[in-house]
């Protein structure tokens, strides 16, 4: 459940702290007061795209945070190596230059991770989501979301992936003879080049290092001879002088024992110097190169580098290419036999898919009947008594008769009036009917959905009168199973609120400010009166608002009584 929402410097909201409650939470206010900004802030903290336009003019950054109480996030937090605190806190910041940062329980996360998590916690129905109902390509996913046949769907998808894998393999092997011959020649040439080179991993690096050594051998010999003489090879070398110093300190140590440590250090230094000199002498002995050896090395190095350049790879990758090329040549040699075998497998897999698709169609047909019944029941309760809702399932078009979703095309059809033939929702449903169909679907789907909070941004679009009253009652019913947040401009819906917030815009010193205020009983009555009659609140509109609040409370008591039975 959503407990708190903190908003800071988002659009015209300088600061707002909103504490939500279980049940139906309603937000009302004048058009343009900032109701949708609250939803925008909530969407931002849930990982939606957030741009610098979100930041209030003059502010360096915008920030929104949401506090949830939900154990549904525990597994997600564990999988993402995040520690759970007493409360689940999501946070989003956006700077004036458009940079965004996200945090969960204080730990940084990506926006995509935030979206993953929020999908477990909350579902937002925006003002334009009703348009999805008009997109018939979405209807199949709605039906599959309602149906209890997840195992059949997974089984079908596995069979379809096998089918596509075989198709891809056949396509890979299928080519005309001329193209095949060109590829064979190319692969044979690669195999011959790499095998003839007798590659050894790391050889090129070794040869390059030795070549560098050969090219600079004279300079190297000169420098090392000088270093050797300084260390050990001259009468006044470092080692000789250190030995002399050690002997002198040894004589002095007879009279001052504390000098024994100095003597020991000098002897160690002498040993180190002599050891270094021996190492230099050994190294000097290894840098005598003949011209023939140098020529052989440069020839081998040049050959390797030409090979690397030609195939765009070095030893390890070239050896992998060699194995791949041999494998491809083997496949091409027997490609006709392989294609014949794969074609037989493809036909067998086609039958497997059709069988899986038939089972899926049967399950969808059963779910469609149940969904039709449930949606019609919901719509009748939403002041659409003559509605007819139909889930039409027909075979999919195409060569195979199936695709990754199965063998079905699904369309939602409806008729709002008796005697009229059902037709596509996109052509028949009005704005108000779309809103009610969407609410009906949310109500039906919520019974199997584990998301605890539903948000409706003006679900009442195009609705008025009795229909608005029924929408309010339906939201109230839904809020007994889920926490519901609703932005509305209708008094019929606002009256049903368990918690009511008023969004108000004001101007001070040339700046616009939006505030969010929880309303008490008298405040609710005045707000309902304003929703009825505008700013001209009269005794009659207040009486009407009071009666509406009383009727809403009566409905809730009846609802609670029915739930307790």
Domain locations in the chain? 1-127+458-519, 181-333
- Could you tell me if 514 and 34 are in contact, meaning their C-beta atoms sit under 8 angstroms apart? yes
Kindly state the tokens that stand for 557: 């008591």
Q: What is the pLDDT of residue 273?
A: 84
| Digitized pLDDT (tens) for each residue of the chain, 565 residues in all | 999 999 999 999 999 999 999 999 999 999 888 888 999 999 999 998 888 889 999 999 999 999 998 777 888 888 888 877 778 999 999 998 889 999 999 899 999 999 999 989 998 887 666 667 788 888 999 999 899 999 999 999 999 999 999 999 888 777 666 777 788 889 999 999 988 888 888 888 888 877 776 776 667 777 777 777 787 776 678 877 888 788 888 888 887 878 888 888 888 888 888 888 788 777 777 666 677 777 888 888 889 989 999 888 888 999 999 999 998 887 777 677 788 889 999 999 999 999 999 999 999 999 999 999 999 999 999 998 998 999 999 999 877 889 999 999 999 999 988 888 999 988 888 888 888 888 998 889 888 777 899 999 878 888 889 999 999 999 999 999 999 999 999 999 999 999 999 999 999 988 999 999 999 999 999 999 999 888 888 999 999 999 999 999 999 998 875 665 4
Cα 119 to Cα 61, 64, 128, 342: the distances in Å are 26, 18, 19, 42
1-127+458-519 has which fold?
Rossmann fold (3.40.50)
pLDDT for the residue 176: 62
Helix then strand then coil, in percent of the chain rounded to 5, is: 60, 20, 25
Helix (H, G, I), strand (E, B) or coil at 492: helix
Q: Cβ neighbours of residue 527 under 8 Å, at least 6 residues apart?
A: 28, 494, 500, 502, 519, 545
- pLDDT at 98 (0 to 100): 86
**Residue 340 dihedral angles phi and psi, to the nearest 5°:** -60, -40
Distance CA 92, CA 201 (A): 50
401-434 exposure pattern, b = at least 16 Cβ within 10 A, e = fewer? ebeebbbbbbbbbbbbeeeeebeebeebbeebbb
Q: Which long-range contacts (CB under 8 A, 24 or more apart) does 262-267 make?
A: 266/242
- Residue 126 CA to residue 103 CA, distance in Å, equals 24
Helices 291-311, 177-197: crossing angle, 10 deg rounding: 150
Burial class of residue 212 in the structure, from the number of CB atoms within 10 Å of its CB (0-12 exposed, 13-18 middle, 19+ buried):
exposed
- What per-residue confidence (pLDDT) applies to 334? 67
For residues 319 and 355, what is the distance between their CA atoms, to the nearest angstrom?
Answer: 45
pLDDT at 450: 78
Query: In Å, how far are 153, 342, 361 from 350, measured between CA atoms?
Result: 16, 12, 16
């Amino acid at each position: 459940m959503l407990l708190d929402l903190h908003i800071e410097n988002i659009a015209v909201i300088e600061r707002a702290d909103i504490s939500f409650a279980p049940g139906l939470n309603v937000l009302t206010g004048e058009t343009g007061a900032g109701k949708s900004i609250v939803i925008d802030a909530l969407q931002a903290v849930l990982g939606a795209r957030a741009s610098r336009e979100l930041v209030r003019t003059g502010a360096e950054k915008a920030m929104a945070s949401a506090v949830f109480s939900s154990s549904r996030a525990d597994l997600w937090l564990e999988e993402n190596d995040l520690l759970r605190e007493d409360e689940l806190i999501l946070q989003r910041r956006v700077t004036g230059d458009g940079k965004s940062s996200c945090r969960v329980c204080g730990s940084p996360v990506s926006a995509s991770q935030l979206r993953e998590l929020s999908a477990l916690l909350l579902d937002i129905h925006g003002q334009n989501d009703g348009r999805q109902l008009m997109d018939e390509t979405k209807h199949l996913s709605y039906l599959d979301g309602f149906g209890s046949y997840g195992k059949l769907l997974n089984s079908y998808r596995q069979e379809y992936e096998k089918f596509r894998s075989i198709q891809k393999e056949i396509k890979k092997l299928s080519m005309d003879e001329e193209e095949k011959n060109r590829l064979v020649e190319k692969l044979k040439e690669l195999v011959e080049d790499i095998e003839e080179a007798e590659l050894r991993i790391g050889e090129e690096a070794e040869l390059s290092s030795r070549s560098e050594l050969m090219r600079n051998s004279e300079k190297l010999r000169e420098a090392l001879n000088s270093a050797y003489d300084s260390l050990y090879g001259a009468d006044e070398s470092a080692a000789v002088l250190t030995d002399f110093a050690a002997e002198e300190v040894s004589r002095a140590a007879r009279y001052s024992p504390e000098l024994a440590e100095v003597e020991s250090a000098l002897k160690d230094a002498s040993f180190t110097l002599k050891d270094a000199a021996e190492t230099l002498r050994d190294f000097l002995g290894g840098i005598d190169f003949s011209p023939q050896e140098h020529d052989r090395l440069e020839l081998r190095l040049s050959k390797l580098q030409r090979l690397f350049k030609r195939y765009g790879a070095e030893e390890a990758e070239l050896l992998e290419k060699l194995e791949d090329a041999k494998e491809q040549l083997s496949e091409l040699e027997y490609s006709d036999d392989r294609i014949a075998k794969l074609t037989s497998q493809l036909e067998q897999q086609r039958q497997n898919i059709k069988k899986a698709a038939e089972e899926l169609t049967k399950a969808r047909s059963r779910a469609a009947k149940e969904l039709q019944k449930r949606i019609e029941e919901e719509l009748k309760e939403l002041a659409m008594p003559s509605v007819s809702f139909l889930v039409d399932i027909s075979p999919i078009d195409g060569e195979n008769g199936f695709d990754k979703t199965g063998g079905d095309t699904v369309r939602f059809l409806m008729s709002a009036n008796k005697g009229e033939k059902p037709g596509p929702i996109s052509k028949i449903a009005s704005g108000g009917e779309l809103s009610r169909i969407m609410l009906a679907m949310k109500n039906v789907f919520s019974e199997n959905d584990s998301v605890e909070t539903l948000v409706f941004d003006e679900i009442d679009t195009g609705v008025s009168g009795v229909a608005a009253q029924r929408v309010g009652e339906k939201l109230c019913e839904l809020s007994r199973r889920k926490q519901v947040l609703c932005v509305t401009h209708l008094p019929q819906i606002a009256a049903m609120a368990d918690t009511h917030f008023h969004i108000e815009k004001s101007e001070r010193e040339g700046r616009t400010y939006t505030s969010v205020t929880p309303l008490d009983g008298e405040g609710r009555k005045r707000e309902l009166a304003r929703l009825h009659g505008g700013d001209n609140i009269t005794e009659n509109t207040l009486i009407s608002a009071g009666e509406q609040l009383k009727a809403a409370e009566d409905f809730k008591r009846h609802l609670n009584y029915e739930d307790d039975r």
